[in-house]
């Protein structure tokens, strides 16, 4: 039983899109009463946006999730004004929002080198403080990757992503604009009877070889990072990008899409994923769907159909496979409820994780108090 749930965790929800850190500004140095000297201020803790950093890396490089800045130097006869303690800088990806444990926003890091001070060092001791130094600020902070939408559509051109977005959102999707990205994905809002809204981003169609940065592929994949879950969309009859390129079945489309994500950033495949099989109104769709489902049960048995370099290292397990037709409306309601279910499950897990961390902090605080 334990094993099963661990496998589940590895597959889904392993993507790091938030982190909690303990930050502590350095204490100030002592002042020198005899000569009216002033201790150096403690160092500050900063969070700084940088390219080519992922939250996963940040997590791996800071297992203790603690940042403590340097202590200010004491004032001495040789240096009446003590030196400032060392600052600490935590490099994080662009597009991060920093909050404290109460949910107050400390800063938005939307562009490279944007920075926010999260814990100020204590001031050094001086005449005004009877030469006693102050302690630095201490708190927990939370780093959250800003999302563009709850779900991101992943599919080759013509799979029916735009049609699906329209069918789901009962309205013309809006073109969104975000401070931290130059791309303009289309965002549709899915409404539920209890007034909950879920956003779905339609991204420029992925092409084979996107990881090699052909066409819009690379920029497209960047967007996928900023959605909680993936919604793969394939045409039940498969597709052919151009007369020169091979015809691909729906099964091959799924594998090619998986491979593109893997080559771009393997981490993306740890997000929960759903599969929409579109165009179920076409002839022989039912048979093709059955075949696709069968193939997805044991993908490895069917890999010989694929070019060697297009075989994914790990196949993706979809939480739901939903056949739809955006033209007749078949399956759209089922899709809506599957999406909702999947996101709700994830939200529960997230909240549990966050509470667990807070509880842990309280416990260790209580323990320190007792010692
Ligand atoms: N038969 C059928 N055609 C569809 C369906 N959904 C989309 N299409 C057609 O497929 C083509 C591509 O659709 P579009 O939404 O633009 O695909 P996108 O490139 O993935 O955004 C259009 O000609 C649509 O009319 C469907 O459920 N059934
Ligand atoms: Mg489109």
We report the CATH number of the domain holding residue 323 as 3.40.50.300
Element (H or E) spanning 339, and its range? helix 332-370
Minimal-distance CA residue to ligand 1 atom 8: 160
Question: In the predicted model, is pLDDT for residue 84 greater than 60?
Answer: yes
Q: What is the token pair recorded at 258?
A: 């998986």
Question: In the predicted model, is pLDDT for residue 238 greater than 70?
Answer: yes
Query: Could you tell me if 165 and 303 lie in one domain?
Result: yes
Q: For residue 309, how far is its CA from the centre of ligand 1 (angstroms)? A: 29
Q: Which of 163, 277, 285 to mutate to test the pocket of ligand 1 (most atoms within 8 A of CB)?
A: 163
Counting from 1 in the atom list of ligand 1, the atom nearest the Cα of 202 is 21
Q: For residue 261, how far is its CA from the centre of ligand 2 (angstroms)? A: 19
Domain that holds residue 215: 149-350
Q: For residue 158, how far is its CA from the centre of ligand 1 (angstroms)? A: 6
- End position of a domain, from candidates 126, 145, 164: 145
Q: At what angle do helices 217-224 and 250-264 cross, to 10 degrees?
A: 80
pLDDT-derived band at 179, boundaries 50, 70, 90: low
Which one of 6-10, 153-157, 367-371 scores highest in mean pLDDT? 153-157
pLDDT-derived band at 324, boundaries 50, 70, 90: very high
Other C-beta atoms closer than 10 Å to the C-beta of 219 total: 16
CA distance 173 to 122: 50
CA distance 203 to 257: 14
How much is the mean pLDDT over the chain? 87
Query: Could you tell me if 133 and 108 lie in one domain?
Result: yes
Give the pLDDT of residue 207. Answer: 65
Q: Would residue 371 count as lying in a domain?
A: no
Query: Could you tell me if 213 and 126 lie in one domain?
Result: no
Query: Could you tell me if 54 and 155 lie in one domain?
Result: no
Query: Could you tell me if 141 and 231 lie in one domain?
Result: no
Q: Would residue 365 count as lying in a domain?
A: no
Give the pLDDT of residue 217. Answer: 56
Query: Could you tell me if 284 and 343 lie in one domain?
Result: yes
Query: Could you tell me if 135 and 229 lie in one domain?
Result: no
- End position of a domain, from candidates 130, 145, 160: 145
Minimal-distance CA residue to ligand 1 atom 13: 160
Query: Could you tell me if 200 and 324 lie in one domain?
Result: yes
Number of structural domains (the chain) is 2
Query: Could you tell me if 71 and 205 lie in one domain?
Result: no
Q: Would residue 176 count as lying in a domain?
A: yes
Q: Which ligand is nearest to the CA of 281?
A: 1
Q: What is the pTM of this model?
A: 0.79
Whether the Cβ atoms of residue 139 and residue 119 lie closer than 8 Å to each other? yes
237 DSSP 8-state letter:
T
Residue 167 dihedral angles phi and psi, to the nearest 5°: -65, -35
Query: Could you tell me if 141 and 159 lie in one domain?
Result: no
Query: Could you tell me if 133 and 156 lie in one domain?
Result: no
- Is any atom of ligand 1 closer than 6 Å to the C-beta of 335? no
CA distance 52 to 92: 9
Give the pLDDT of residue 244. Answer: 80
Question: In the predicted model, is pLDDT for residue 156 greater than 70?
Answer: yes
Query: Could you tell me if 110 and 216 lie in one domain?
Result: no
Q: What is the token pair recorded at 59?
A: 């997590």
- Is any atom of ligand 1 closer than 6 Å to the C-beta of 326? yes
CA distance 144 to 107: 11
Q: Which ligand is nearest to the CA of 155?
A: 1
Q: Which ligand is nearest to the CA of 163?
A: 1
Which one of 162-166, 219-223, 224-228, 346-350 scores highest in mean pLDDT? 162-166
Whether the Cβ atoms of residue 136 and residue 30 lie closer than 8 Å to each other? no
Considering only 69-73, 92-96, 262-266, which range has the smallest mean pLDDT? Answer: 262-266
Residue corresponding to tokens 């949910």: 103
Q: Would residue 93 count as lying in a domain?
A: yes
pLDDT-derived band at 152, boundaries 50, 70, 90: very high
């Amino acid at each position: 039983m334990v094993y099963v749930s661990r496998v589940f965790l590895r597959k889904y929800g392993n993507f790091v899109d938030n982190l909690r850190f303990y930050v502590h500004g350095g204490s100030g140095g002592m002042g020198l009463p005899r000569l009216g000297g002033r201790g150096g201020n403690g160092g500050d803790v900063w969070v700084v946006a940088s390219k080519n950093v992922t939250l996963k890396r940040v997590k791996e490089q800071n297992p203790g999730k603690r940042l403590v800045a340097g202590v200010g130097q004491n004032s001495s006869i040789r240096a009446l004004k003590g030196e400032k303690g060392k600052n600490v800088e935590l490099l994080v990806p662009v597009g991060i929002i920093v909050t404290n444990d109460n949910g107050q926003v400390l800063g938005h890091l939307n562009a490279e080198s944007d920075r926010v001070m999260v814990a100020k060092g204590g001031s050094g001791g001086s005449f005004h403080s009877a030469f006693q130094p102050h302690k630095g600020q201490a708190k927990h902070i939370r780093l959250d990757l800003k999302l563009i939408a709850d779900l991101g559509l992943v599919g080759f051109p013509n799979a029916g992503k735009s049609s699906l977005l329209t069918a789901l959102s009962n309205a013309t999707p809006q073109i969104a604009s975000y401070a931290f990205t130059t791309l303009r994905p289309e965002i549709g809002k899915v409404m539920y009877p209890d007034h909950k809204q879920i956003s779905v981003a339609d991204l420029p169609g992925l092409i084979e070889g996107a990881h090699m940065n052909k066409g819009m592929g690379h920029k497209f994949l960047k967007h996928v990072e900023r959605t909680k879950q993936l919604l793969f969309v394939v045409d039940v009859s498969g597709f052919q990008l151009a007369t020169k390129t091979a015809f691909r079945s729906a099964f091959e489309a799924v594998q090619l899409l998986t491979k593109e994500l893997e080559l771009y950033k393997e981490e993306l495949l740890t997000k929960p994923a759903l599969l929409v099989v579109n165009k179920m109104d076409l002839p022989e769709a039912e048979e093709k769907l059955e075949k696709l489902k069968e193939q997805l049960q044991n993908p490895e048995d069917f890999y010989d159909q694929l070019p060697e370099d297009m075989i994914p290292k790990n196949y993706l397990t979809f939480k739901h496979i939903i056949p739809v037709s955006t033209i007749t409306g078949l399956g759209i309601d089922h899709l809506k409820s599957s999406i909702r279910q999947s996101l709700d499950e994830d939200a529960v897990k997230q909240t549990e994780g966050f509470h667990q961390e807070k509880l842990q902090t309280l416990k260790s605080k209580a323990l320190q108090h007792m010692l």
